[in-house]
Amino acid sequence: MRDLYKEAGVDIQAGNEVVRRISGHVRKTFRKEVRTDLGGFGALFSLPINKYKRPILVSSTDGVGTKLKIAYEMNRHDTIGIDAVAMCVNDILVYGAEPLFFLDYLATGKLLPEQAEQVVSGIVEGCLQANCSLIGGETAEMPGIYQNHEYDVAGFVVGIVEEDQVIDGSSIKQGDILIGLASNGLHSNGFSLVRYLLFEKNHFQLTDQIEELGEPLGEELLKPTRIYVKTILNMLKEVSIKGMIHITGGGFIENIPRIIPKGLQANIQLGSWEIPPIFSFLQKLGELKQEELYRTFNMGIGFILVVAKEEKEKVLHLAEQLGEKAYIIGEIVKGDQEVKLLSERK
pLDDT tens, position by position, 7-60:
566 666 766 777 777 777 788 889 999 998 887 888 899 998 888 999 999 999
pLDDT band at 328 (very low <50, low <70, confident <90, very high): very high
SS3 content of the chain, % helix, strand, coil (to 5): 40, 25, 40
Task: State residue 116's pLDDT score.
Answer: 92
Per-residue pLDDT reduced to its tens digit, 88-140 = 999 999 999 999 999 999 999 999 989 999 999 999 999 999 999 999 999 99
Contact 155, 123 (CB under 8 A): yes
Confidence at residue 40, expressed as pLDDT on a 0 to 100 scale:
80
Residue 1: pLDDT over 60? no
Residue 3 is predicted with a pLDDT of 65
Q: What pLDDT score does 18 carry? A: 73
Partners of 340 in the beta sheet? 267
pLDDT value at residue 8? 62
Instruction: Compute the distance between CA of residue 127 and CA of residue 106 in angstroms, rounded to an integer.
Output: 16
Task: Give the model's pLDDT for residue 36.
Answer: 87
Structural domains for the chain: 4-165 (3.30.1330.10), 177-342 (3.90.650.10)
Query: What's the pLDDT at 13?
Result: 76
- Better-scored residue on pLDDT, 148 or 243: 243
Q: What is the pLDDT of residue 22?
A: 74
Confidence of residue 339 (pLDDT cuts 50, 70, 90): very high
pLDDT at 275: 96
298-309 pLDDT tens trace: 999 999 999 999
89, 128 Cβ separation under 8 angstroms: no
User: What integer pLDDT is reported at residue 303 of this predicted model?
Assistant: 98
Please give the backbone phi and psi of residue 43, each rounded to the nearest 5 degrees, phi first. -130, 140
The Cβ-side half-sphere exposure at 319, using a 13 Å CA radius, reads 20
Cα Rg of the chain, angstroms? 21
CA–CA–CA angle 282, 320, 219 (5° rounding): 30
What percentage of the chain exceeds 90 in pLDDT?
A: 82
pLDDT reading at 345 higher than 80: no
**For position 201, what pLDDT does the model report?**
94
